[in-house]
Amino acid sequence: AYFCSLLFSYMNHIRNFCIIAHIDHGKSTLADRLLEHTGSVSEREKQDQLLDNMDLERERGITIKSHAVQMVFPYNGSDFVLNLIDTPGHVDFSYEVSRSIAACEGALLVVDAAQNIQAQTISNLYLALDNGLEIIPVLNKIDLPSASPQEVTDDIVDLLGCQAADVIPASAKTGEGVEKILQAIVDKIPFPSGDKKKPLQALVFDSVYNPFRGIETYFRIINGSIKKHQKIKFVATNKAYTADEVGTLNLKQTQKPEIFAGDVGYLITGIKDAKEVKVGDTIADAHDTTAIAIEGFEDVKPMVFAGIYPVDTEDYEELRSAMEKLQLNDASLVFVPESSAALGFGFRCGFLGMLHMEIVQERLEREFGMTVITTVPNVSYAAFTKKNPEKRLLVNNPSDLPEPSKLDKVEEPYITASIITKADFVGNVMSLCIEKRGIVKNQTYLTTSRVELVFEMPLAEIVFDFYDRLKTVSKGYASFDYSPIGMRPSKLVRVDILLNSRPVDALSALLHADSAYSVGKKMCEKLKELIPRQQFDVPIQAAISAKIIARETIKALRKDVTAKCYGGDITRKRKLLEKQKKGKKRMRQVGNVEIPQEAFMAVLKLND
């Protein structure tokens, strides 16, 4: 009984929380101040963006991965254990946010006092409310000259329905308000509900590949406890292992003999195969035959698909191994093997957005030394054939689309896009969205100078350059968020690119029939600039089925072969030119044209 009361008292002193906000509203800086204020980081270890441990995160100034860390905060004569999970702000990494939210009881909602509430702030807030989290609103960057604390506080009160006194003014840069935030975390966020007497149940919310120790699994214990050397199993794979090491996630991992319900920790079992650990899985005791998986964890839904191929086909297995290790650390990456006539063996990968795709490509290069070729990205479509109009065929690759003669209809994914911008730029934003086949659904003035626009538009239209162009037309003021709303019929065609009369499957694209001609023409023009000249003329053609809709020609490299024929009859020159002509024709029939990497991404920059 004494031991149980001790455990209950320990759980009473645990708080699990995450920080949610729009991109660049100061989440990582606030996390730095919380770590410094609780003495979790020494003077020597101090640096900006402390939890962002990837070079890529520091260079771009964005958080890509969720990062868990434990702090101890003395308050009212007791020590409270605070488990913080820092989350990314970009819409492409919303899956990371959903995983962090699943492991917490509360969230700090950070709003920039200069930029006000943005689209992603609202999206992440609803995600947290759906999971029943306690929300603590924080008004950040109040030290900025351009800050409007009173106006933004009123907007937060309208959004949350809370009191103005509940909004904590703070500055992550100067450290103002950090003590109040920590006190609010202890006072308002409920301690974890869970029973230490029940069998072990722990939710896996992340994992990392360590080349020396195998896979490190990060988890949150819901019920029971986990000891060092305990026999455990993963419910999804039903494979049993021994817990070689367990511990908590301080700035550096801290070994513990046992950790209990409510705690966030790590586990090392010596697993080497990446397929054996799934994010969202449940850890249970190996001898527990009635173990059930924890519910409520979302499956990842890829939005953008692209092929990733090794530059050298011999590196295929090496690329597979790198992708599996990367998937451990980035559970939102989905891939299946595929082959292309132009590029050999590779993978068809699913990403959450274009930034996510760019980051994956960059990480493969930096962390695994793999130089890869990425094909033109596209979204997932549904096709129905005349032979079987009820059966839905999923089309992730343009080459999977049936021939037009066999095709009954094609459906494409639609999204609801929420754009918050200044009133001055409403016309520009509307023009851009209508150009991208958007339908205006709602227009709400949040204040006299800020407007929320809601559109329904095809996902394919926002995949490429929409975000960049939105920032351009709104001078950087617009914020954007989207959510899928299902499939709708559409007039889609496959545009193939033929190089020297041979189709290059990696350059095929599925496009709306109305824009197919203009995009096909632009692609041919772009490829003409990027593909180097050969010894023979190279025709570049865009085709829909058997119909050529655009053509450009890369002229041959020429030299004056008749220079040596000086004097004499004209027939000498003519004979030599005819001989040259035959040679060029033969060369063109057997010649291969090397396609540079930039050509595959040319379609993304057609508006440049």
Strand partners, 348: 307, 336
Report the percent of the chain where pLDDT is more than 70.
Answer: 82
Residue 452 confidence (pLDDT) above 80: yes
Taking the CA atoms of residue 361, residue 366, residue 369 and residue 370 in that order, the dihedral angle to the nearest 10 degrees is 0
Q: Which one-letter DSSP state was computed for residue 142?
A: T
Q: Identify residue 510 by its one-letter amino acid code.
A: L
Burial group, residue 501, by CB count within 10 angstroms (0-12, 13-18, 19+)? exposed
b/e map of 382-399 (b: 16 or more CB within 10 Å)? bbbeeeeeeeeeebbbbe
Q: Which two tokens stand for residue 100?
A: 């962090």
Calculate the alpha carbon distances from 220 to 46, 217, 478 in Å. Answer: 27, 10, 37
Any idea which residue has 């632009």 for tokens?
Answer: 522
| Residue pair 259/49 in contact by the 8 Å Cβ criterion | no
| Dist CA 321 CA 368 (whole Å) | 9
Of 453, 535, 549, nearest in space to 497 by CA: 549
Is the pLDDT reported for residue 569 higher than 80? Answer: no
d(CA 195, CA 99) in angstroms, rounded, equals 22
| pLDDT tens digits, one per residue of 345-395 | 888 888 877 777 878 888 888 888 888 888 777 778 888 888 887 888 888
How crowded is the C-beta side of 458, counted as CA atoms within 13 Å? Answer: 22
The answer, yes or no, to whether residue 597 has pLDDT greater than 50, is yes
Q: Write out pLDDT tens, residues 18-28.
A: 888 777 777 77
Number of other residues whose CB lies within 10 A of the CB of residue 350 = 21
Lowest mean pLDDT among 111-125, 406-420, 445-459, 556-570: 556-570
Q: 180: closest CA among 125, 137, 121, 133? A: 137
247 forms beta bridges with 255, 266
Beta strands (DSSP E) in 531-587 are: 538-544, 547-554
pLDDT over threshold 70, residue 96: no
Mind listing the pLDDT tens digit for each residue in 55-70? Answer: 555 455 555 555 677 8
Helices (H) and strands (E) in the chain, counts: 15, 31
Phi, psi of 385 (to 5 degrees): -95, 160
User: Which of these, 354, 86, 363, 92, lies nearest to 206 by C-alpha position?
Assistant: 86
Q: Express each pLDDT in 305-317 by its tens digit.
A: 788 888 877 888 8
For 69, phi then psi, to 5°, come to -155, 145
pTM to 2 decimal places: 0.67
pLDDT score recorded for residue 160 = 80
Contact present, 84 and 118 (Cβ < 8 Å): no
With a cut of 70, say whether residue 80 has pLDDT above it: yes
Q: Which of 480, 438, 512, 463 is nearest to 352 (CA)?
A: 463
Please check whether residue 573 is in contact with residue 562, taking contact to mean a CB–CB distance below 8 angstroms.
yes
CA pair distance 202, 279, nearest whole angstrom: 12
User: How many CB atoms are closer than 10 A to CB 166?
Assistant: 15
Contact 188, 7 (CB under 8 A): no
25 Rama class: left (phi>0) / alpha (psi -120 to 50) / beta? alpha
User: Cβ–Cβ contacts within 10 Å for residue 571, how many?
Assistant: 8
To the nearest 10°, report the CA torsion of 355, 26, 51, 177.
Answer: -160
From residue 520, how far is each of 400, 432, 517, 547, 607 by CA, in Å? 19, 21, 5, 12, 13
Q: Are strands 201-210 and 538-544 parallel, antiparallel or unpaired?
A: unpaired
For all residues of the chain together, what is the average pLDDT? Answer: 77
| 181, 1 Cβ separation under 8 angstroms | no
Q: Residue 65: helix, strand or coil by DSSP? A: coil
Q: Which pLDDT score is estimated for 6?
A: 47
Strand 372-374 with 201-210, pairing:
unpaired
